[in-house]
Amino acid sequence: MAFVFPQSDRGLLLNITFYQRTFQAHASKYFEAFVKGLKRHGYKAEWLSDESYKPCDLAVIWGLRFPHIIEGQKDSGQDYLVMERGYFGDRNEYCSLGFNGLNGRAEFHADKSPPDRWQKHRIDIEPWHIGGDHYLLMGQVNGDQSLYSTDIRKWYKDVIAKLKNITSRPILFRPHPLARQHDKGLDVDGVKAGCTIGEAFEGTYCAITYNSNSGVDAVLNGIPLITMDQGSMAWDLALHEITTERITPLRDQWLYDLAYKQWTMDEMASGEAWDHLKKRYE
């Protein structure tokens, strides 16, 4: 069963396919909501197993664990849309929707967005902190799809070594809650485990991450950030080298844009999310 969509949205004609693997049961509720929204725009919608892939105008997938679909879409010159958790608030209540990549490598068509969605869903943010006594290195899950085969443990060690060459400030490490023993053997001054992200930021002079979404949490909590990969959603508000310097840029437009990169299930089901995304084809 393929997604062949009738002419809808003032002449927009697309062949769209949702692909899911059996172990991605958690994606079903998001797919169902998105399909409802497409129906409100006049489309018929079903989804297939990834084993049934064939090129289409737009392939919709959860995460990046579909290399044959991604390469197939690239080879045919067509798009794929990546669905994943959101970036601020309760990440399980939001879904990010980006074309042809994950997180900072995706195309969201959200540059210079108006403030309405941020004002609708906004959360409290902290002013930039000017104090703090230590660096906080924030861990990620080795092998996570956002790392693109980066050896994250080696990266930790390289960062720690560079910091020790330029500063006497303590270096603390916060393991990712889903990671296992990544702090073992790291030459750090302490480990912040088993606490909330907000508690982990207490006393932090500067946070450092490869490209984790904890970088977004840092910016929202007013913690200056260093991030080393363009896949970071906080790339534009961070430094990109190990340094003793810090930056505290204006965050307003970044927040407005970020709010147009994630959607609730209700917003997907109502068609509001697709009303934004379809601009790519108009």
- Hey, what domains does the chain have and what are their CATH numbers? 16-122+258-281 (3.40.50), 134-250 (3.40.50.2000)
> Which 8-state DSSP code applies to residue 132?
-
Mean pLDDT of all residues belonging to the chain = 89
The predicted-structure confidence for 114-169, as pLDDT tens digits, reads as follows 999 999 987 889 999 989 999 999 988 665 666 676 788 889 999 999 999 999 99
Of 48, 72, 212, the closest CA to residue 145 belongs to 212
At residue 152, the pLDDT reads 85
What's the rounded Cα separation, in Å, for the pair 68 and 93? 29
Q: 74 is written with which tokens? A: 């690239």
Which three-class secondary structure state does DSSP give residue 228?
coil
Indicate the helix (H) or strand (E) that contains 174: strand 171-174
At residue 6, the pLDDT reads 41
Q: Which single residue is written with the structure tokens 């664990």?
A: 65
Indicate the helix (H) or strand (E) that contains 148: none
27 to 17, 59, 154, 274: CA distances (angstroms): 15, 15, 32, 17
At residue 123, the pLDDT reads 86
At residue 66, the pLDDT reads 92
Q: 180 is written with which tokens? A: 């296992």
At residue 180, the pLDDT reads 62
At residue 2, the pLDDT reads 38
At residue 241, does pLDDT exceed 70? Answer: yes
The confidence band for 13, taking pLDDT boundaries of 50, 70 and 90, is: low
The confidence band for 10, taking pLDDT boundaries of 50, 70 and 90, is: very low
What's the rounded Cα separation, in Å, for the pair 22 and 20? 7
At residue 12, the pLDDT reads 60
At residue 249, the pLDDT reads 97
> Which 8-state DSSP code applies to residue 279?
G
Residues in contact with 175: Cβ distance below 8 Å, sequence separation at least 6, in sequence order:
139, 182, 183, 191, 193
| Contact (CB, 8 A) for 257 and 113 | yes
| Contact (CB, 8 A) for 34 and 264 | no
The confidence band for 185, taking pLDDT boundaries of 50, 70 and 90, is: confident
| Residue range 207-235: mean pLDDT, rounded | 96
Q: Which residue has the higher pLDDT, 2 or 101?
A: 101
In percent, the amount of the chain with pLDDT more than 90 equals 68
Of 175, 170, 143, the closest CA to residue 156 belongs to 175
| Residue range 71-83: mean pLDDT, rounded | 96
Burial of 21 (0-12, 13-18, 19+ CB in 10 A): middle
At residue 165, the pLDDT reads 97
Q: Which single residue is written with the structure tokens 């994250």?
A: 152
The confidence band for 7, taking pLDDT boundaries of 50, 70 and 90, is: very low
